[in-house]
């Protein structure tokens, strides 16, 4: 199998670490086209010579899929962290060609037949768990890719796939553009009273970048955008109710009007997904989605309803508490609290109840200290050392850090990039982890040791200002722990079969287990006290503040739970019962679902669906429930450490070792329920999740 190498195009060079620093939009069209041409001839060669054996089927197949994943992953990553109109249009132009190749590969009859032959052969019993999982999932994926369809139906299927890819891309771009488009210039300081210094700094920085050269945090002018850090800050801290309302309304109507309107795109996506499901002989798209997940539609709905019942009364009480509190504070709106009031008054109630001001805690959470604490925790739990390796690999921005992961004997096991700061003009919001390359025996660099995995971790924190490091909210600390959990599962895999190494091949609803699991450690005293040091004085977070953070963990847990349940239920409803083009619109479905999942119904003009990227531009279609599904798994997994005793270092290390050898090591090579049972000794239960959220008693009486 030939690897295409073209020294003049960085996408086509043979590299250990991707040349992120030199890839430009001009490389995308020729690079992807040359790669696809090469892969097509590799695929033809494979189909001509295929035999139902590992060396003649799986190894060449892995080489084909891997090359495409790495090169496409590079440009897709750059689009997410260094977006430009030129890069966008280059990717848009070659994406259909890439999808066409993937469909051709996914619908290859010779490959499908060879996998079926392995499954039916005498050698089946001698295959490892991981190898069996590869064969089973390849057969299942091929069927879901339309391999068994007649020619005319397959042609229709392929058209649908192409169109869905295009629509998802457009949906995401509209959200990004609509978010960028909104700007509110404020010159009068009293209009932004209440906003913390960090947000004022951010708003002034934005103003400078938009041509207000003399803007300062102190005197303005300030530009408010819908970018998450500033949006959240306005909702939680701005005393100006009119400003909160304006920003809230802009946020929930993003990408719902004019040339960025996503409404028609959503309808078309839902229509095509249903058509695709029918072609594959499923009743609806949710069934297609569940075919490759742990849950079934019924099981997911059952869990969501169980959690809804446990959360409802608590959420109603949360609202009552806000009304009483705001009334006592003399708020005019106390009897009429609505969407742009809840975050603001919840923040004031949190401050008075727990005397915690998220902003005042920032100096205790400086990014360098947080990362040190996180790496020390990983060393204790999993026996690994993480060392800075800046300069070893090219990066796409000077703020990006590069790290080397070693085992307890000093052997290298993985690498990762960390891109921590917000860059609204070119970088997507949110936080995510993705693979750069996965562990693989077949793709060994030297022919003996497996190729080592490399991961990305991307966040959107407030950048350092002057000599002041990036100071984080506690929520941002949790986010870094979360993304690192994903990275650990990718990096600490012991699978040598590339197709199921790391996060590859793991059922979608199990993939959040390690990430949500890691968040729990932020509340463990030793961990938190280890990172919470004032960046100037070095003093530790006061003990009473720690206790309040702990108590505040269950603050408004019912409301936060219902918010996720609205998203998850709406997602399932749209992909099971909703009929595109019938009398009920998508927004009416949202309102109907919200009656059961929201204490305050959404505004009539709420168009949140138009920016629900998770299900229309991400991988969560008929899968948003998996956040809750995985929360059950992760809380239960963490309760194994609680049972062992969180202050018993020896027991924590032993349990950590077990977690590493099961959940983190086995990757997609074993069915996730078996992996969980191997770690926990039993099947998962929602008890730990409800206990952590302070919702346990509610469920006992309600069920």
Catalytic residue annotation: 483
- Which residues fall within 8 angstroms of residue 426, CB to CB, at 6 or more apart? 81, 82, 83, 84
Beta partners for residue 457, in sequence order: 418, 433
Instruction: Supply 594's token pair.
Output: 């919200």
Q: How many residues does the chain have?
A: 703
Q: Residue 341 and residue 333: Cα distance in Å, rounded?
A: 8
Residue 54: CB atoms within 10 A of its CB come to 17
Q: Residue 300 and residue 227: Cα distance in Å, rounded?
A: 32
- Which residues fall within 8 angstroms of residue 458, CB to CB, at 6 or more apart? 80, 81, 418, 419, 427, 431, 432, 433, 434, 483
Q: Residue 518 and residue 514: Cα distance in Å, rounded?
A: 6
Cα 229 to chain centroid distance, Å, stands at 17
Question: Cis bond leading into 702, ω under 30°?
Answer: no
Q: Residue 96 and residue 81: Cα distance in Å, rounded?
A: 22
Farthest-apart Cα atoms in the chain, separation: 79
3-state secondary structure of 451: strand
Nearest residue to 505 (alpha-carbon basis) of 435, 573, 581, 578: 435
* CA 134 to each of CA 49, 114, 140, 147, 437: distance values in angstroms, whole numbers, following the listed order: 20, 13, 10, 17, 18
Instruction: Supply 149's token pair.
Output: 């369809």
Task: Give φ, ψ of 451 to 5 degrees.
Answer: -65, 140
Q: Are 702 and 682 in contact (CB under 8 A)?
A: no
Instruction: Supply 210's token pair.
Output: 């938009």
Angle at 536 between CA 533 and CA 541, to 5 degrees: 25
């Amino acid at each position: 199998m030939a690897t295409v190498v073209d020294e003049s195009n960085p996408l086509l060079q043979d590299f250990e670490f991707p040349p992120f620093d030199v890839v430009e939009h001009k490389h995308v069209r020729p690079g992807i086209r040359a790669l696809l041409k090469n892969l097509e001839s590799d695929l033809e060669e494979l189909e001509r010579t295929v035999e139902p054996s590992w060396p003649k089927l799986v190894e060449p197949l892995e080489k084909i899929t891997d090359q495409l994943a790495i090169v496409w992953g590079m440009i897709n990553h750059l689009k997410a962290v260094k977006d430009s109109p030129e890069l966008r249009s280059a990717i848009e132009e070659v994406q259909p060609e890439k999808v066409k190749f993937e469909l051709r590969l996914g619908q290859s009859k010779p490959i499908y037949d060879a996998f079926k032959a392995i499954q039916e052969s005498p050698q089946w019993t001698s295959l490892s768990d991981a190898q069996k999982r590869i064969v089973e999932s390849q057969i299942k994926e091929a069927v879901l890719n339309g391999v068994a369809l007649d020619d005319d139906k397959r042609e229709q299927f392929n058209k649908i796939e192409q169109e869905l890819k295009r629509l998802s891309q457009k949906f995401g771009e509209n959200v990004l553009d609509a978010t960028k488009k909104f700007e509110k210039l404020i010159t009068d300081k009293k209009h932004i009273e209440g906003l913390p210094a960090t947000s004022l700094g951010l708003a002034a920085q934005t103003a400078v970048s938009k041509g207000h050269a003399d803007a300062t945090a102190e005197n303005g002018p300030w530009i408010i955008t819908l970018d998450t850090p500033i949006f959240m800050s306005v909702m939680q801290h701005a005393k100006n109710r009119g400003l909160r309302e304006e920003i809230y309304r802009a946020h929930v109507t993003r990408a719902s009007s004019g040339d960025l309107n996503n409404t028609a795109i959503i309808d078309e996506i839902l229509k095509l997904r249903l058509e695709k499901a029918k072609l594959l002989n499923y009743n609806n798209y949710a069934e297609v989605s569940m075919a490759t997940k742990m849950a079934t539609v019924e099981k997911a709905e059952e869990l969501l309803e169980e959690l809804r019942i446990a959360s409802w009364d608590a959420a109603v009480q949360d609202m009552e508490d806000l009304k009483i509190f705001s009334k006592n504070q003399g708020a005019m709106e106390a009897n009429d609290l609505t969407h742009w009031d809840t975050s603001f008054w919840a923040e004031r109630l949190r401050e008075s109840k727990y005397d915690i001001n998220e902003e005042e805690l920032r100096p205790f959470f400086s990014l360098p200290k947080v990362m040190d604490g996180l790496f020390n925790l990983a060393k204790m739990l999993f026996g690994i050392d993480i060392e800075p390796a800046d300069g070893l690999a090219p990066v796409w921005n000077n703020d990006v850090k590069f790290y080397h992961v070693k085992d307890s004997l000093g052997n290298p096991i993985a690498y990762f990039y960390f891109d921590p700061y917000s860059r609204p003009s070119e970088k997507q919001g949110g936080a995510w982890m993705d693979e750069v390359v996965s562990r693989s025996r077949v793709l060994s660099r030297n022919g003996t040791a497996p190729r080592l995995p490399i991961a990305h971790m991307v966040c959107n924190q407030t950048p350092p200002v002057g000599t002041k490091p990036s100071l984080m909210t506690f929520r941002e600390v949790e986010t870094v722990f979360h993304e690192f959990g994903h990275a650990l599962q990718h990096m600490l895999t012991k699978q040598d079969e590339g197709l199921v190494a790391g996060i590859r091949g793991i059922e979608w609803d199990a993939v959040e287990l390690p990430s949500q699991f890691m968040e729990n450690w932020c509340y463990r005293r030793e961990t938190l006290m280890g990172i919470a040091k004032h960046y100037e004085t070095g003093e530790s977070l006061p003990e009473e503040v720690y206790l309040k953070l702990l108590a505040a963990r269950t603050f408004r847990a019912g409301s936060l739970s219902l918010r996720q349940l609205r998203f998850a239920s709406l997602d399932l409803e749209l992909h099971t019962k909703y009929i595109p083009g019938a009398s009920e619109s998508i927004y009416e479905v949202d309102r109907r679902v919200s009656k059961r999942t929201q204490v305050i119904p959404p505004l009539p003009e709420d168009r949140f669906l138009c920016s629900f990227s998770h299900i229309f531009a991400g991988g969560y279609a008929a899968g948003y429930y998996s956040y809750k599904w995985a929360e059950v798994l992760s809380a239960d997994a963490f309760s194994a450490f609680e049972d062992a005793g969180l202050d018993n270092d020896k027991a924590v290390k032993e349990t950590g070792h077990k977690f590493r050898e099961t959940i983190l090591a086995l990757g997609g090579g074993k069915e996730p329920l078996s992996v969980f049972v191997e770690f926990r000794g039993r099947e998962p239960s929602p008890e730990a999740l409800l206990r952590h959220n302070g919702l346990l008693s509610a469920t006992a009486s309600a069920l």
